[in-house]
Structure 1
C-alpha cells in the first residue's frame, strides 16, 4: 500500500499540465508497476513487453521527443518528474525510458532521423548505451574500443561493460575510438559514437555477450559485450562532436539519476509511514516513539530538499543554460541522500528490514547503485571542485 502524499504548497514550477502528468504517472506506478516489481524483482525478472507497451501508450518513451514526431514535446523537467514516480515503484522502469527519448536518432540523413524519432516516441526504438569498458569507466576519455574505417563501414573491435538492456534493445549506441589523439590534443580526441542496429532479443554477428550478475537493479539484464569485427555503416555515426556530445548527454542523465534517487528515497519514507503504524512494541505502534518519529521527519525533509534541487536543475536545462556543475551537484547530493534514507528505512523496519519480505530492501539495493553509475559520487565531487577551484600551475 502507498499512503496518500502529504499535501504541500505547490512548487514554483507547478502547472496544471504538470500536475496532471504527475498524477497519471503516480497512478500507473502504483497500480501497474509496483505489483510487477514485487513479483519479478525477487527472481531477477525482466520488465514484461506488455508493460513497455502500456508505457508507450502513455507517451513515456517520447516525453522529450517533439510533438511533430509523435512525442509529448516536453522538457527535462517533465522527463525527470515522471522518472521519479516510476522509480518509486521500480527503478528499472524509470531507467528504461532513458533508452528512448530520441536516443540513437541523430544520424545525418534527415528522413531517416525523422523516422527514428517517430519510432522512439512509439516505444519501437528502445536502445542500450555502451560507454564503459573494463579499463574506462569514470575515465571515458580512455575508451579503447576501435572503429577502423573500411570503405563505407567501420569495423569494431573491443569490449564494453555495464551495457544495460543490450540484448533486448533495438539498437546499441557505442562510444568508440576512430583515431588516436595527436600530441597537442586532449585524450578524448578521436572518440565518436556509432549506432549499431539490431533485432530485439539477439546479437548480430560480431557481438557476443555475457550477463553480469548484480545485487540489484533488476528488470533488465546488464551485459559485458565483446566486439569482434562488427561492421557498422559510416552513415550510422551519431552526431558530429564526439566526446563533447557524450558529456552533454551525461548532464541530463545525472539529473535523471537524481530524480530516480528521490523516487527511491520517497518510497522508503512512504513504506515506513505504513510500517510504523502497523508494527506494535511495548503496547504501542512504534511510530509513537519520538526517536522513530524524528528519524522519519529527517528522512522526509531530505527527500523534499533533493526534489527541489533536481527540479531546479532540470528547469535550467530546459532554459538551455550550461549546468554541468549543477548537474554534478544534484546527482551527488540526491544519490547520497537516497542511499542513506533507504538505509534508514531498513533501520526503522528493524529485523524485518533485513529480509526480502518488505520492499524497503529493494529500495536500498537500487539506491546504492545511484551513487555509482553516471559517474560515481567521487567523480561528481571532482567535477564540482574543478569548476569552483581551479588548480594552481604548481598543482
Structure 2
C-alpha cells in the first residue's frame, strides 16, 4: 500500500477537515512565532515572552478543552493533542504552558468554574501545580506538607518540589495533608486536600519562598523548590472535598499523559525534520550525507517510530473523546512515545555529528527535552507498572 493511500486512509479515519485546519493553523504559528523565539532564547535559558503567550491566547490555544459556555473552544482531546504536537515541534515549554489553563480543573465547583474558566480560556488565569515533594514523587501518597485550619481558612506549611511556573502563574494548585498519613497501603492517599492559592503574576504567594531548580533543559520558564511557612489560604479556596485531593490529582492523568505523548512526538518530529534538512546540506566525500545508506536508513527508522507513536496517540485520543476509560492505553502511549522520542532525538544528534552537540542547532534542545518526558507525568517505570498490573493483576 502506498504512502499516499496510507495518509488518505488515516485522514479519512481521524484527520477531519476541521482537524486539518487547526493543525495547519498551529503549524504556521510555530514556524513564524515559536521557532524563532525558541532558537534565540532556549540556548540562554530565556523565558517564554509574554507577547508570545498573548498570541497563543488570541488563537484560543489556552481554551481548547474548555467548554464554549465558559469562553473556550469546546474541542476534544484529539484537537488538543494535534496542537500540542505542533507546539512541541517548536519548543516543548510552549506546548506545556497551554495545559496550565485547561487541565486539572476537576475539583472546581460550579461557582469556581464560572469565575475562573473564562479567565483560563484567555490565558489570564494560569496555574502552577504544587504536588511533588522530595520524598513524594512517584509515591505521591507519601506527602508530608500539611494544612491546618485557621478560622475559616487554612495555613499550609511544608516543602514542595518540581513546581514549574510557580513565579509566572496566576495561582498555585497546592496539595497538602489535612488528615494523618495512614499505614494501610490502600488508604495512604486519604487525607490529602487540594487548595487554590491566587497570587500576583511574577511573584510567589505571601508565606512562600523558593529557589529555582538548576535544570539541563525545559527552558522557557523556571521550575521551583518551594517552602510554605504558614501560607494562608482564604475561605472557599479548597477544591473538592476535604481529604479527597488525591483523586483530583489523579483525575486528569489520562489527558496529562496523552499531552506528554504529544509533546514527545513533536520533539521527535523536530529532530527528524531538522535531520533531513541537515543531511541534504551536509557534504562529505563529495556527496550529501543524505545519499549514504546508513543515514537514509536512520531517517527511515526515525520516521517509522514517530508514525507508530502518533497512530497509538490518535487511537487513544479518539477513545477518550468517545467517553471510554483509557487509563491503561494512556500509560501505553505515554511510555511508548517518550521512549521513542529519546531514541529518535539521539539519532538526530548522531546525524548532525559534532554540530549536533552544539547549541547552534535545535536538535540538542529536542534531545534534552525528550529526556524529561520519560520522567514527568509518571516515569516510564510507573507506566510499565500500571500496564502490567492491568494485564497480570497487582
CA contact (8 A) 1:194 1:238 kept: yes
1:303 aligns with 2:302: no
Which residue of structure 2 lines up, in the alignment, with residue 176 of structure 1?
Answer: 176
Give the superposition deviation at 1:235: 1.1
Gaps of 5+ in 2: none
CA contact (8 A) 2:104 2:251 kept: no
Aligned counterparts, 1:214-363, within 5 A: 214-240=215-241, 241-363=244-366
Q: In 2, Cα distance between the equivalents of 1:213 and 1:181?
A: 31
CA contact (8 A) 2:141 2:189 kept: yes
Q: In 2, Cα distance between the equivalents of 1:195 and 1:134?
A: 21
Give the superposition deviation at 1:112: 3.9
1:165 aligns with 2:165: yes
CA contact (8 A) 1:175 1:193 kept: yes
1:33 aligns with 2:34: yes
1:127 aligns with 2:138: no
Which residue of structure 1 lines up, in the alignment, with residue 207 of structure 2?
Answer: 206
Does the C-alpha gap of structure 1 residues 181 and 222 become closer, same or farther in structure 2, counting only changes over 3 Å? closer
Q: In 1, Cα distance between the equivalents of 2:5 and 2:50?
A: 33
Q: In 1, Cα distance between the equivalents of 2:276 and 2:182?
A: 58
Q: Secondary structure at the match of 1:73?
A: coil
Q: Secondary structure at the match of 1:223?
A: strand
Q: In 2, Cα distance between the equivalents of 1:320 and 1:82?
A: 21
Within the candidate set 378, 388, 393, 2:391 is matched to 388
Q: In 1, Cα distance between the equivalents of 2:69 and 2:247?
A: 27
Q: In 1, Cα distance between the equivalents of 2:282 and 2:362?
A: 15
Which residue of structure 2 lines up, in the alignment, with residue 8 of structure 1?
Answer: 7
Residue correspondences, number: 386
Q: In 2, Cα distance between the equivalents of 1:178 and 1:112?
A: 21
Q: Secondary structure at the match of 2:180?
A: coil
CA contact (8 A) 2:194 2:248 kept: no
Does the C-alpha gap of structure 1 residues 141 and 106 become closer, same or farther in structure 2, counting only changes over 3 Å? closer
Q: Secondary structure at the match of 1:375?
A: coil
1:63 aligns with 2:64: yes
Does the C-alpha gap of structure 1 residues 183 and 7 become closer, same or farther in structure 2, counting only changes over 3 Å? closer
Q: Secondary structure at the match of 1:174?
A: strand
In the superposition, the TM-score normalised over structure 1's length comes to 0.94
In the superposition, the TM-score normalised over structure 2's length comes to 0.95
Give the superposition deviation at 1:103: 4.6
Q: In 2, Cα distance between the equivalents of 1:204 and 1:295?
A: 49
Give the superposition deviation at 1:61: 0.4
How large is the RMSD of aligned CA atoms in angstroms? 1.7
Which residue of structure 2 lines up, in the alignment, with residue 91 of structure 1?
Answer: 92
Q: Secondary structure at the match of 1:46?
A: coil
Q: In 2, Cα distance between the equivalents of 1:257 and 1:148?
A: 34
Give the superposition deviation at 1:73: 0.4
